[in-house]
Chains A and B, each alone.
Chain A
Amino acid sequence: MSINRGRVRWQCRRALLELDLVFARFLERDFDRLTDGQLADLEDLLRCEDHDLWAMVNGSNPCEVDRWKEMIGLLSQR
């Protein structure tokens, strides 16, 4: 079953302004180019708690899940 891009885009709305700012940049720059496989990885990553996700994006807590690393890399690009 294919992943609905609109749903994933909405789930990039987060509880923390920090992540909203990071995702706004990502949605503008990277989102439309994601393959279905990358989209599935992103959807999985978006299930994380916001503080944990933020910790991975800012590097204070290294990402230990291989399939998330590419997305964390894109989100971390300033």
Chain B
Amino acid sequence: MTVAKRTFDAVIVGAGGAGLRAALQLSESGLKTAVLTKVFPTRSHTVAAQGGVAASLGNSTEDNWHWHMYDTVKGSDWLGDQDAIEFMCRKANEVVVELEHYGMPFDRTDNGKIYQRPFGGHSQNYGQSPVSRSCAAADRTGHAMLHALYQRNVRANTQFFVEWMALDLIRNADGDVLGVTALEMETGEVSIFHAKATIFATGGAGRIFHSSTNAFINTGDGLGMAARAGVPLEDMEFWQFHPTGVFGAGVLITEGVRGEGGILRNASGERFMERYAPNLKDLASRDVVSRSMVTEINEGRGCGPDKDHVLLDITHLSPETIMKRLPGIREISIQFAGVDPIKAPIPVVPTAHYQMGGIPTNYKGQVVAPKGGNVNAPVTGFYAAGECACASVHGANRLGTNSLLDLLVFGKSAGESVVEDLNSGNLSLKPLPADAADVSLARLARLEGQTNGESVFDVGLDMRRTMQKHAGVFRFDNLLKEGVSQILSVAERAKRTEIKDKSKVWNTARTEALELDNLIEVAKATMVSAEARKESRGAHVRDDAPDSPEFPNGRNDNEWLKHTLWFSEGNRLEYKPVTMRPLSQDVEPIALAKRTY
């Protein structure tokens, strides 16, 4: 079978915030840049980001990047790499101001500066009091950001391939990345995108869980492609469960609600966060809030007939404030909880929200993997940014508003690195191996010819239920062990999926089967990595690793202050050190400490 070939300086997979920011850097540098995306760029999941983007502008309260760096390292439970965290926090003001110049309609203060509001985990003066650091555009920050970046890309002549699904990474015998194969949904034809540089910006894979805030497109395509091509996935045991998902639907209620004064209450109406986080209360870090909520439920203080949720109360705010600052939240509550939050509190539970781990990169956005004794050897021609990547700035737990910052900073950084690597002669268009498309064609042929196979829906449902039960917000050793064998069994079934519709054109059943191939890699990585890490840290909370004088919060730095690397081949794990040294010699490392709020 002949496979068409297209050639570019750079190919980017994914057109959310990170992909668009990277594309802009390349196109404005005059490089021939292709962006592949399953859906129209402005329908990427970045649209859903409500809260804001963190930057220590200090417009509302005194602030500086050192405080932001401290909060981020502490939030990460010291698993974040301090060089990447310094880089991100120092770059924050620059990328936010840049975005403002691209036309981003940030909310304004009365004197015309960017309005900033408080957000969970962000503080003044190294944890002393909440700070206003989040720059927002009402509760549509992600939407506004995506539109500003997309329009700028159109101006820069970025070439978009819309409704194309990338299938597999192409590597040569040296392991260099040469591009991707991709399927055009409109024709069902496979093409090779041959490029000097390949950037993955495919977002997260929250759909591995049964209860998730993620849209259906979040199927971890970049992670699946990387894993199948021999690139490890880093720290995949760390998933942030957002404290406030609408009970029964998973839909997100932004942390901004608590920033504006929302209060969590148990069945007796008590503001229970006062007991768990006396200083920051309802604005404590997300995992602290999630754990507190589940503890309330587990100890019988939950609400409703089954005592299985808690309440988020904003009834004390004026209707005008709710309508002005939180217009979308009222609509979500009415549709999915049947409650008008002006009149009654919203029923909420923790729900899977954000993946801290991903494709390992350095702060430059270069993908790194162990090679020849170097645990962080760059993979030539391969870059990643945004939720699919692990820089690692979020470590074991991400702070709200640091994700939009991550995709701006590291999208730009990945783009800059490609330009630098091209200029320095480190990148070139290398010859494609003769079998460049064979893996993808074999996957499609297998799907085409499968008989007596498994239903994509059934296997997907079993994967999501297994992940929810065995690797949820609280983790237990026996459940994790069972979970490993169960998810490996589900993965075997995923190799035999069958689709009844064999048509080539706009075959959504085929697309969903291919997406499941990616999800299952992420699910295996998550379960195996979680089972192996025998401590509690950040969002990874184990019942058998509780708070103790020897191991505060269950964290064991002697044995587990290290990054997990999961390899699909052989389903094996390796580990690598956390970078505790900041980027600059004159910046002091943030010393290990117990994480309390």
Footprint of B on A, CB under 8 Å?
A: 4-7, 9-11, 13-21, 24, 49-51, 54-55, 57-58, 60, 78
Cross-chain contact A50 with B43 (CB below 8 angstroms): yes
Known: A17-B213, A54-B331, A58-B335. A9 touches B505 (CB 8 A): no
Say which residue of A6, A16, A49 sits within 8 Å of B506 (CB atoms): A6
Interface check B143, CB cutoff 8 A? yes
Contact of A60 among B39, B163, B327 (CB under 8 A): B327
Q: Give the chain B neighbours of A7 by CB distance below 8 A.
A: 185-186, 506
Count of A-B residue pairs with CB < 8 Å: 82
Complex Cα–Cα for A5 and B327 (A): 34
Which B residues are in CB contact (< 8 Å) with A54?
A: 331
Chain B residues with CB under 8 A of A4: 505-506
Closest residue of A by beta carbon distance from B163: A10
Is there contact, CB below 8 Å, between B251 and A21?
yes
A14 cross-chain contacts in B, Cβ below 8 A:
39, 43, 215-216
A7 to B188, CA, bound (A): 12
Inter-chain CA distance A7–B217, complex, in Å, is 15
B250 lies within 8 A of A6 (CB): no
Q: In the complex, A10 Cα to B514 Cα: how many Å? A: 14
Picked from B44, B252, B506, the residue with its CB within 8 Å of the CB of A9 is B506
Q: Assess whether B143 is in contact with A51, with CB atoms less than 8 Å apart.
A: yes
On whether the beta carbons of A49 and B143 are closer than 8 Å, the reply is yes
- Say how far B270's CB is from chain A's closest CB, in angstroms: 30
A8 to chain B, nearest CB (A): 9
The secondary structure that dominates the A interface is helix
Cβ of B338 to closest chain A Cβ, rounded Å: 9
Q: Which 7 A-B pairs have the closest CB atoms?
A: A6-B506, A15-B47, A15-B43, A20-B216, A58-B331, A7-B506, A58-B335
Q: Are B48 and A15 in contact (CB under 8 A)?
A: yes
| Nearest A-chain residue to B46, judged by Cβ | A15
Cβ-defined contact, B506 with A10, below 8 A: yes
> Per-residue CB proximity of B37-77 to A under 8 Å, as 1/0?
01100111111100000000000000000000000000000
Contact (Cβ within 8 A) A6 B47:
no
Any A CB within 8 A of the CB of B133? no
The smallest beta-carbon distance between B562 and chain A, in angstroms, is 34
Q: How far is the CA of A46 from the CA of B110 in the complex (A)?
A: 37
Tell me the bound Cα distance from A10 to B214 in angstroms: 17
Q: Which residues of A contact B125 (CB under 8 A)?
A: none
Q: List CB contacts (< 8 Å) of B382-424 with chain A.
A: none
Minimum C-beta distance from B327 to chain A (A): 7
Alpha-carbon separation in the docked complex, A6 to B512 (Å): 13
Q: B179 CB to closest chain A CB, in angstroms?
A: 24
Nearest-neighbour CB distance to chain B for A39, whole angstroms, equals: 13
Q: Which residues of A contact B163 (CB under 8 A)?
A: 10
For chain B, residues 301 to 337, give those with C-beta under 8 angstroms from any C-beta of chain A. Answer: 327-328, 330-332, 334-336
Residue of A4, A7, A16 most packed against chain B (CB within 10 A): A16
Shortest distance from the beta carbon of B183 to any chain A beta carbon, whole Å: 12
Q: B39: which A residues are within 8 A, CB to CB?
A: 11, 13-15
Can you name the residue of chain A whose Cβ is closest to the Cβ of B218?
A17
Q: Report Cα–Cα, A17/B330, bound state, in Å.
A: 16
Bound CA span A6–B508, Å = 7
Asked if residues B48 and A17 are in contact (CB atoms below 8 Å), the reply is: yes
Q: Cβ of A51: which chain B residues have Cβ within 8 Å of it?
A: 47, 140, 143, 328
Chain B nearest CB from A72 CB (Å) reads 13
Cβ contacts under 8 Å, B335 to chain A: 18, 57-58, 78
- Chain A residues closer than 8 Å to B214, beta-carbon distance: 17
Query: Given the complex, which residues of B lie within 8 Å of A24, measured CB to CB?
Result: 216
User: Chain A's nearest CB lies how many Å from the CB of B387?
Assistant: 14
Which residues of chain B come closer than 8 Å to A19, judged between CB atoms? 215
Complex formed: what's the CA distance from A58 to B43 in Å?
Answer: 19
Given contacts A49-B143, A51-B140, A60-B331, contact A17 B508 (CB under 8 A): no
Name the contact of A15 in the complex, choosing from B45, B249, B336, B508 (C-beta under 8 A). B45
Residues of the A chain whose Cβ atoms lie less than 8 Å from the Cβ of B212: 17
**Does B507 sit within 8 A of A, measured CB to CB?**
yes
Is there a chain A Cβ closer than 8 Å to B426's Cβ? Answer: no
> Does B511 touch A at the CB level, under 8 Å?
yes
List which B501-516 residues lie within 8 A (CB) of chain A.
Answer: 503, 505-508, 511
